[in-house]
Amino acid sequence: MPDLKTLLLNQDTQGAEVFDSPKERLNFYRSEIHFESTLLASRTSGYLSSQSFLMIAFASSMANTNPDWGSLFRLVVPSVLALLGLLTSLHAIPGIRASFDVIERWHRKQAELLQTEGNVGLLPNHDSALFGEGNSPPGGKRYKRTLLFSLRTPIIFGAVWALLGAFCIVLYFFG
The SS3 call for residue 129 is strand
Please give the pLDDT value at position 2. Answer: 57
Please give the pLDDT value at position 126. Answer: 45
Letter for the amino acid at 126?
H
DSSP state of 137: P
* Residue 129, beta-bridge partner list: 122
Please give the pLDDT value at position 162. Answer: 97
Separation between Cα atoms, residue 52 and residue 132, nearest integer Å: 35
Name the burial class of residue 77, with classes exposed (0-12), middle (13-18) and buried (19+) by CB atoms within 10 angstroms of its CB: middle
> 62-77 pLDDT, tens per residue?
998 888 888 889 889 9
Tally of CA atoms within 13 A in the half-sphere of 118 that contains its CB: 8
Please give the pLDDT value at position 5. Answer: 47
First to last CA, the chain: 73
The SS3 call for residue 18 is helix
Separation between Cα atoms, residue 124 and residue 166, nearest integer Å: 60
Tens of each residue's pLDDT in the chain, 175 residues: 555 444 444 455 555 568 888 889 999 999 999 999 999 999 999 999 999 999 999 999 999 888 888 888 988 999 999 999 999 999 999 999 999 999 999 999 998 998 888 666 554 444 445 445 444 444 457 788 888 999 999 999 999 999 999 999 998 888 7
Domain ranges of the chain: 21-174
Please give the pLDDT value at position 8. Answer: 42
Residues near 91 by Cβ (< 8 Å), separated by ≥ 6?
none
Letter for the amino acid at 110?
Q
